[in-house]
Amino acid sequence: MTFELPAAKGPLRDVALQGGYLIGFSVQALAALARAVVHGRLSVRETVTQTLFVGRVSTGPSLLLMIPVGVFVAVSVGELAGRIGAGGYSGAVVAFVIVGQASALVCALMMAGVAGSAICTDLGARKIREEVDALEVMGVDVLERLVAPRLVAAVVVSLALCAMVTFGGVMACYAYHVYVQHLPAGAFLATFSQYGRTSDFVTALVKATIFALASTLVATFKGLHAHGGPRGVADAVNEAVVIAFALVFVANTVLSALYTVIVPAVGTY
């Protein structure tokens, strides 16, 4: 069930109300997703449609963003390593930066900025056309019908994108290391395999999942509560992107701090 947000009586009150309603909506949406999966009510057709849609709008921008990020990391690492005479450790830095941090963040930016805005626009347009209200009148659970498939689609696409952009970023760094800096490929691969851990990649996948859920929950919340015509939908999209970015970076900071505490460092430099 959706509900109308009350009029704000001040900036702080508005922020508090929005945060409270977002938390409540998120709990209801995740519970609806669990019910739909357990009772077999999750729409497979809608889930596949949304997965293809989210993948189509996110894959290209993700790869185009990750390649320059990988080159930037390679250039920065190569310059610094050259100054201190440690060019052979570039693979280790790439393993930490690309695999552990950059790949998940690129996925988060795409899910929040590209896929999230598209989801919010779609649901917002349905809301102002009163399609959502019509579904509720017919007794259809909006959370199970509209939100749950998009949550599943976002997670599936985010996991796939994380693997793709990790590979693309590492390959960009490897190519720069070998063909631009003319350093031995063996040194890059040796340090990459030595300092790169499976747990780093698994953590990146966990981050991508959490970022996808957070971005999609914000996008669907704002879309289902859009009001005021097309301008209201545009405002909802802007708010959804800003809130999703903020949540993603806070979540990334917390998860990275927990990872460094739980998983010990490999070797010494």
What whole-number distance in Å separates Cα of residue 184 and Cα of residue 125?
A: 55
pLDDT at 269: 41
pTM: 0.83
CA-based R_g, the chain, Å:
21
What whole-number distance in Å separates Cα of residue 94 and Cα of residue 238?
A: 33
| Nearest alpha-carbon partner for 213 in 159, 141, 145 | 159
How big, in percent rounded to 5, are the helix, strand and coil portions of the chain? 85, 0, 15
Distances, alpha carbon 79 to alpha carbons 26, 75, 76, 95, in Å: 45, 6, 5, 17
Burial of 145 (0-12, 13-18, 19+ CB in 10 A): middle
Rounded to 10 deg, the angle between the 11-38 and 198-224 helix axes is 110
pLDDT at 91: 65
Give me 26's structure tokens.
């998120």
What whole-number distance in Å separates Cα of residue 108 and Cα of residue 62?
A: 10
Domain boundaries of the chain, sorted by first residue: 11-262
What whole-number distance in Å separates Cα of residue 177 and Cα of residue 172?
A: 9
Distances, alpha carbon 158 to alpha carbons 65, 85, 235, in Å: 15, 38, 25
Question: Could you list the pLDDT tens digit for every one of the 269 residues in the chain?
Answer: 544 555 545 556 666 777 788 888 999 999 999 999 998 888 899 999 999 998 888 888 887 777 777 667 666 766 666 666 555 566 667 767 778 777 888 888 888 888 889 999 999 999 999 888 898 888 888 999 999 999 999 999 999 988 888 888 788 777 877 787 777 777 777 777 777 778 888 888 899 899 999 999 999 999 998 888 888 899 999 989 989 988 888 888 888 888 777 776 655 44
Burial of 66 (0-12, 13-18, 19+ CB in 10 A): buried
Q: DSSP character for 184?
A: -
